[in-house]
Chain A
Amino acid sequence: MWQEIIVLLIGLATVGYVGYRLFRLFTARRRRHSPCEGCCGCAAGNKK
């Protein structure tokens, strides 16, 4: 049972995280300082 609960929590956290990232992506226009909206895929993410 405990395994099911942890898996459920991980699933919920993942959905929440994806939702948050998508929200950040679509509201990006207002935050001009970040060129890639928190994506850490490359060096550009380090630029202020």
Chain B
Amino acid sequence: MHKHQSMRLSELHTGEKGVIVKVTGRGGFRKRIIEMGFIRGKEVEVIQNAPLKDPIHYKVMGYDVSLRRSEAALIEIVSHSEFKEQQAPVSHGETPLLHTVSPSEIQSIAMEKGKTINVALLGNPNSGKTTLFNHASGAHEHVGNYSGVTVDAKDGVFRQNGYTFRIVDLPGTYSISAYSPEERYVRRYLNEEQPDVVVNVVDASNLERNLYLTTQLIDMDARMVIALNMYDSIQKRGDTFDHESLARMIGAPIVPTISKTGFGIKELFDRVIKVYEGEDPVIRHIHIHYGEDIERGITGIRRSLKQNCHIGKGLSKRYLAIQLLEGDPETERWIRELPGGEGVVKERDETVAQIESLLHEDSETAFTNARYGFISGALRETFEPGKIQELKSTQIIDLFVTNKVLGFPIFIFFMWLMFEATFRIGAYPMEWIELLVARMSNGIRLYMPAGPLKDLLADGIIGGVGGVIVFLPNILILYLFISFMEDSGYMARAAFIMDKIMHKMGLHGKSFIPLVMGFGCNVPAIMASRTIESRNSRMITMLINPLMSCSARLPVYVLLTSAFFPQKASLVMLALYGTGILLAVVLARLFKRFLFNEEDIPFVMELPPYRMPTTRSILIHMWEKAKQYLRKMGGVILVASIIIWFLGYFPLQPEQEDASVRQQNSYIGQIGQAIQPALAPLGFDWKISVSLLSGMAAKEVVVSTLSVLYTGGEEEETQALSKRLQEDTNSDGTVVFTPLTALSLMLFVLIYFPCIATVTAIARESNSWKWGAFVIVYTCLLAWLVSFAVYQTGSFFIRL
């Protein structure tokens, strides 16, 4: 998260002057301080600011004013010294120009700085925040039609109507209680960063649940604009919603938006400007009335907080009182640490007992009920459901895709279709790229004088990188399908139908989302497991995620299936993905049994309505993937290819030696032959063994290494890698690669050592390198066992 640092009034020393940029903070304090003359562009002089002395004495608009240090810290300024720093020449050695700071210059900077609005985007998961963020900021962040896509804050900057917006897309949350990591994250962000305006994105198709978060923001006294997103769903259903009345009721402007098309987004940020400038006619702070008994409790705790604890003006005491009465553990811990906090907590305990005895329900439930009561009341006055309640298309589709009998076959059919398209359609552009790579290689062989650079370019760089780049179309097609399934909402259904299996694994259906994301790349998938509340489920999900076949493994599969299973390529690929899932199921069960055997917290899984994904969003996904793939080509794959070539070229040997003998005697040959005995029972020769070793950096490197090592004779060098693999022979004349060897290799690649980025992600997310090491050990052992079983059983049957 990026915090934009700016100078605060409290940082000025005695005698220094500054010009006000903005007053942050909330509610009554902010209003009072503005009324006192602390407005943008006005000059303030420090009369006395002694260290450890409170309050500080200021002069503004000719009046002497005293402010507490904590209050002055909420006022953003531009100081004269800061202005001078900005004017200083950038390059060294230049003589600084003598320049007297004129008040008008500082004032104009303050006015300009004051036109920067920090906006936080907040809303329920899957309410369209990220799409709105992308539209507004022009970013290309990943979106998906299921909850938990945003797991970290992302920021963007854009300009509109002369204002600069620093916009932060926060993870989706249903509330800002401190239960899940993202709830804690969002709450901490709002309290610590204090954005100027919060844009609360509300899904118009599910108003009641979405407005729950809004009620908490009202309690928090956040300056808020509501984006009534997916507004078209209201129109489609024929509902009537008087959002302007609701806005007036809750004191926050509501702007209809459709983030998918960009409708209303400009108007939304126009309204943000109005709110920021204090010109919006609708904005006002309201109190949600929690009923007499609770309100009495809130007032008591609030008073106690004011009297006993020194809490900054940036936090609403009423909000803190509500949090304490709701039993929020984080707020309680914080209050306890303050002087006088223990007494407040004791009073809270007494008040809670009193409320519970009066209402016959626990305090937290009483607050939740009151909030839903508030929402229900507000909607009854402003919202009228459509008269014609026809069966929605979502329900019709769900009848089939989430059906107990049909759900699974449909899921398997979609997966098969995805692989078939990846393989068949991808074969055409793959051929074209192959041709291009061969031409480049031939050109170098023909026109360059003999020498090591020619060999490095033709065999090492073009051979290695070219061997992998040909799979770019296949990866893009795979991503096209994954993006379509994610954005349309089908992936959430897949999670739903997998729920039963997930339960058997000791996980919840929600864990399936990070697992499915793992088909694209394991690293963001592991990061997405943050959204799982229970640590047990989260850990298991992270540990089994490397078994999901990521797109980096696709080049290995496409290469070997096209060479050895051309007729049944899709089925073999489906079986490989299926094996990954099956192994994940078994291991999750084992991990649950032996490592994480505590009970999990139950929670509800939601099924978002189906949406037709936009071409733009799918193209963005594909483009991003293509960029990443090409960057990988120029990074890890290029470097690995060069290293493999060097190790295969040196030490230099007599020219008269046969190419294969030279390769065997090279450094790489020696390394390969050293590790080969461990992998020989799996059917691998030394070249495959080396490929697996180098593939630890990234799985595509397996292919680039094979491409560098399997150069064969002069004739074979221009052939496609698949052909070279088919024709390569051992010294005794037997072929190196049989379909069984290929299958054993694909299974090994599927299971063994996740790439370094994945291991690092697991270590980071689990806060321990122990789990990173554990994943390395278990995947390598498991890969060996599975490949051994397959190869030896297969060989046994072949011999019969």
Option from A6, A18, A28, A43 in Cβ contact (under 8 Å) with B639: A18
Report the separation of the CA atoms of residues A41 and B552 in the bound assembly, to the nearest whole angstrom. 9
Given contacts A39-B756, A41-B632, A42-B757, contact A47 B152 (CB under 8 A): yes
B624: which A residues are within 8 A, CB to CB?
A: 43, 46
Residue B520 interfacial (CB < 8 Å): yes
Q: Which residues of A contact B761 (CB under 8 A)?
A: 35-36, 44
- Establish whether residues B527 and A35, one from each chain, have CB atoms under 8 Å apart when the complex forms: yes
The answer on a CB contact under 8 Å between B452 and A7 is yes
Give A37 Cβ to nearest chain B Cβ, in Å: 6
Range for the number of chain A residues in contact with chain B: 20 to 34
Chain A residues near B522: list those with CB within 8 A: 42
Q: Contact between A14 and B521 (Cβ–Cβ < 8 Å)?
A: no
Closest residue of chain A to B635 (Cβ to Cβ) is: A40
Query: Are A3 and B757 CB-contacts (below 8 A) given A11-B646, A18-B643, A40-B635?
Result: no
Please state if B521 and A43 are interface contacts (CB–CB under 8 Å).
Answer: yes
Bound CA–CA A35/B141 (angstroms): 16
Asked if A37 and B698 make an inter-chain contact with CB atoms under 8 angstroms apart, the answer reads: no
Assess the A41–B639 pair: CB atoms within 8 A.
Answer: no
CA distance A2 to B631 in the complex (A): 29
Please encode chain B, from 602 to 616, with 1 for each CB lying within 8 Å of some chain A CB and 0 for all others. Answer: 000000000000000
Candidates B142, B152, B155, B521; contact of A41 at CB < 8 Å? B521
A28 to B764, CA, bound (A): 10
B454 close to A (CB within 8 Å): yes
Q: Could you say which of B521, B625, B642 contacts A44, with CB atoms under 8 Å apart?
A: B521
Interface residue from A2, A7, A11, A42 paired with B523 (Cβ < 8 Å): A42
Q: Give the distance in Å from the alpha carbon of A41 to the alpha carbon of B636 in the complex.
A: 9
In the bound complex, residues from chain B placing their C-beta under 8 Å from that of A17 are: 639
B639: A residues at CB distance < 8 A: 14, 17-18
Chain B minimum-CB-distance residue to A4: B452
B:320-379 near A, CB below 8 Å: none
Nearest CB in chain B: distance from A13 CB, A: 9
> Chain B nearest CB: distance from A27 CB in Å?
12
Q: How many A-B residue pairs have CB under 8 A?
A: 84
- What is the interface of chain A mostly: helix, strand, loop, or mixed? helix
The contact string, 1 if C-beta is below 8 Å from chain A, for chain B 517-550, is 0001111100100000000000000000000000
B628 at the interface (CB under 8 A from A): yes
A25 & B756 in contact (Cβ 8 Å cutoff): yes
Q: Are B154 and A48 in contact (CB under 8 A)?
A: yes
A7 to B756, CA, bound (A): 28
Q: Is the CB of B453 within 8 A of A40?
A: no
Contact of B755 with A41 in the complex, beta carbons under 8 Å: yes
B696 on interface, CB distance cutoff 8 Å? no
Please, which residues of chain A bring their CB within 8 A of the CB of B2? 48
Given A6-B453, A42-B521, decide whether A36 and B154 contact each other with a Cβ distance below 8 A: no
Q: How far in angstroms is the closest Cβ of chain B from A30?
A: 13
Set of chain A residues within 8 Å of B632, measured between Cβ atoms: 40-41
Interface size on B, residues (CB 8 A): 38
Whether B524 and A44, one on each chain, are in contact in the complex, defined by CB atoms closer than 8 angstroms, is yes
Contact check, B154 vs A3: say whether CB atoms are below 8 A apart.
no
Q: Is the CB of A42 within 8 A of B520?
A: yes
Interface string of B201-242 (1 = CB under 8 A from A): 000000000000000000000000000000000000000000
Candidates B521, B523, B760; contact of A28 at CB < 8 Å: B760
| B154 and A47 within 8 A (CB) | yes
Is B440 part of the contact surface with A, judged by Cβ < 8 Å? no
Query: Is the Cβ of A3 less than 8 Å from the Cβ of B454?
Result: yes
In this complex, which of A14, A28, A35, A42 has the most chain B Cβ atoms within 10 angstroms of its Cβ? Answer: A42
Interface set, chain B 536-589, CB cutoff 8 A to A: 552
Interface residues of B in 485-538 (CB under 8 A from A): 520-524, 527
Min CB distance, B768 to chain A, in Å?
12
> Do B152 and A37 touch across chains, with their CB atoms under 8 A apart?
no
Chain B contacts of A11 at CB under 8 A? 642, 646
Are A35 and B452 also in contact (CB < 8 A) when A25-B756, A40-B628, A45-B628 are? no
A41 to B520, CA, bound (A): 11
- The residue in B141, B154, B635, B757 that gathers the most chain A C-beta atoms within 10 A of its C-beta is B757
> Given A3-B451, A39-B757: A44 and B527 within 8 A (CB)?
yes
Closest Cβ of chain A to B645, distance in Å, is 10
Chain A residues lying within 8 Å of B625, measured Cβ to Cβ, are 43
Q: Are B456 and A7 in contact (CB under 8 A)?
A: yes
In the complex, which residues of chain B have a beta carbon less than 8 angstroms from the beta carbon of A4?
451-453
Q: When A4-B451, A10-B642, A42-B521 are in contact, do A25 and B527 touch as well, CB less than 8 Å?
A: no
Nearest B-chain residue to A1, judged by Cβ: B451
Q: In the complex the two chains form, what is the Cα distance from A6 to B570 in whole Å?
A: 44
B444 CB to nearest A CB, Å:
12
Please report which residues of chain A, range 13-34, place their CB below 8 angstroms from some CB of chain B when the two chains form the complex: 14, 17-18, 25, 28
Q: Does A35 contact B628, Cβ atoms closer than 8 Å?
A: no
Could you say which residues of chain A place their CB within 8 Å of the CB of B628?
Answer: 40-43, 45
Give complex CA distance A3, B448 in Å: 10
Which of A3, A37, A41 is close to B452, meaning CB atoms less than 8 Å apart?
A3
Instruction: Please measure, in the bound complex, the distance between the C-alpha atom of A11 and the C-alpha atom of B461, giving whole angstroms.
Output: 12
What's the Cα separation between A44 and B764 when bound, in Å? 13
Query: Is B523 within 8 A of A37, CB to CB?
Result: no
CA distance A47 to B153 in the complex (A): 8
In the bound assembly, the distance between CA atoms of A46 and B453 in angstroms comes to 35
Least CB distance from B716 to A in Å reads 24
Q: Which of A2, A3, A17, A44 has the most CB of B within 10 A?
A: A44
Residue of B nearest to A11 (CB): B646
Q: Select the residue from A4, A14, A41 with max chain B CB neighbours within 10 A.
A: A41
* Chain A residues near B755 (CB-CB < 8 A): 41
- CA A25 to CA B757, docked complex, whole Å: 9
Report the minimum CB–CB distance from B686 to chain A (whole Å).
Answer: 23
> With the chains together, A23 CA to B642 CA distance in Å?
20
Given the interface contacts A25-B756, A35-B761, does A43 sit within 8 Å of B453 by beta carbon? no
Q: Contact check: which of A3, A28, A41 meets B453 at CB < 8 Å?
A: A3
**Which residues 423-455 of B sit at the A interface, judged by CB distance below 8 A?**
449, 451-454
Cα A35 to Cα B520 with chains together (Å): 17
Query: Do A44 and B523 form a contact, CB below 8 Å, given A4-B451, A14-B642, A36-B761?
Result: yes
Is the beta-carbon distance between B523 and A35 smaller than 8 angstroms? yes
In the bound assembly, the distance between CA atoms of A2 and B531 in angstroms comes to 56
Cα distance, A2 to B452, chains bound together (Å): 10
Does B524 contact A43, Cβ atoms closer than 8 Å? yes
Q: How far is the CB of A25 from chain B (nearest CB, A)?
A: 7
What residues on B are CB-neighbors of A44 within 8 Å?
A: 521, 523-524, 527, 761
CB distance from B671 to the nearest CB of A (A): 16
Q: Are B154 and A14 in contact (CB under 8 A)?
A: no
Q: In the complex, A47 Cα to B625 Cα: how many Å?
A: 14
Q: Is the CB of B527 within 8 A of A48?
A: no
CB within 8 Å of A: which B126-167 residues:
140-142, 152, 154-155
Q: Top 4 closest A-B pairs, CB basis?
A: A3-B451, A42-B521, A3-B453, A39-B757
Taking A4-B451, A41-B757, A43-B520 as known contacts, 10 extra A-B pairs with beta carbons closer than 8 A to each other, sorted by chain A number, are A11-B646, A17-B639, A18-B643, A39-B760, A41-B628, A43-B624, A45-B628, A46-B141, A46-B624, A48-B154
User: Can you name 12 A-B residue pairings with CB atoms under 8 Å?
Assistant: A3-B451, A4-B452, A11-B642, A14-B642, A35-B152, A35-B761, A35-B764, A36-B523, A40-B631, A41-B698, A42-B757, A47-B154
Q: Contact residues of B with A, CB < 8 Å?
A: 2, 140-142, 152, 154-155, 449, 451-454, 456, 520-524, 527, 552, 624-625, 628, 631-632, 635-636, 639, 642-643, 646, 698, 755-757, 760-761, 764
> A-side interface residues toward B, CB under 8 Å?
2-4, 6-7, 10-11, 14, 17-18, 25, 28, 35-37, 39-48
